[in-house]
Amino acid sequence: MTVHPVAPRANYKLGKMPLGRPMETIDEQIVGAPLAAIFALAREVERWPDHLSHYRSVRFLERTADGGGIVEMAAWRPFGPVRWPTWWTSEMDVDHSAPAIRYRHIRGITSEMDVEWTFQAVGGGVRVRIVHAWNGPRWPLIGVTAAVHVIGPVFIHGIASRTLAGLATVAERNSRGIAVQEDTRAG
């Protein structure tokens, strides 16, 4: 994938995650890898298509000093042998101290959706939690219903759960490789 340089700009500060919206999805997994490893994989979104077969493309339209910016993403939502194309554009805010990554969708059917990735060290690894919160598309009469019953559980959860599982697999595999290398050097 060709990476085009983008001039750094001020960081996006998306603030606290707005919860209590009609559609909320939560995907969570314990990742058996160092926090720094899974956090790096999660924030290096341009590399997701290298690791995740369901991602078609990811590119920054603007980049900020914290590693965030405006990012355009495209993924497949598989339904057996059929793949449904999806895309969205988001503001991305990376908080290295928390650590956390926040997104606010600004283009696509999920415009105005907020997303938060959080990372918490726990015994045996890192709890990675992805929360999506949204009022739904601005479709008269059916927007909230479509978000709550179809878009959230079928599309958003379907893509987020695959993304989290795929990045967890890469982080764990890479961490085992580092441990094996360290073990062989010690002997």
pLDDT 10s digit of each residue in the chain, 187 long?
444 554 555 677 888 999 999 999 999 999 999 999 999 999 999 999 999 999 999 999 999 988 999 999 999 988 888 888 999 999 999 999 999 999 999 999 999 999 999 999 998 899 999 999 999 999 988 999 999 999 999 999 999 999 999 999 999 999 886 544 443 334 4
Structure tokens at 17: 């995650």
Distances (CA, A) of 152 to 29, 34, 168, 183: 18, 30, 22, 44
Q: Is the dihedral of CA 130, 75, 135, 97 positive or negative?
A: positive
| Cβ atoms of 98 and 105 closer than 8 Å | no
Instruction: Return the pLDDT at 14.
Output: 87
Give yes or no for a cis peptide into 81 (omega within 30° of 0).
Answer: no
Is the Cβ–Cβ distance between 94 and 75 less than 8 Å? no
Model pLDDT, residue 182: 40
CA 144 vs CA 13, 44, 48: distances in Å: 27, 32, 30
Going from the N-terminus, what domains does the chain have, and what CATH number goes with each? Answer: 8-186 (3.30.530.20)
pLDDT value of position 10: 65
Beta bridge partners of 134: 23
pLDDT score, position 177: 67
- Looking up tokens 């009609």 gives 22
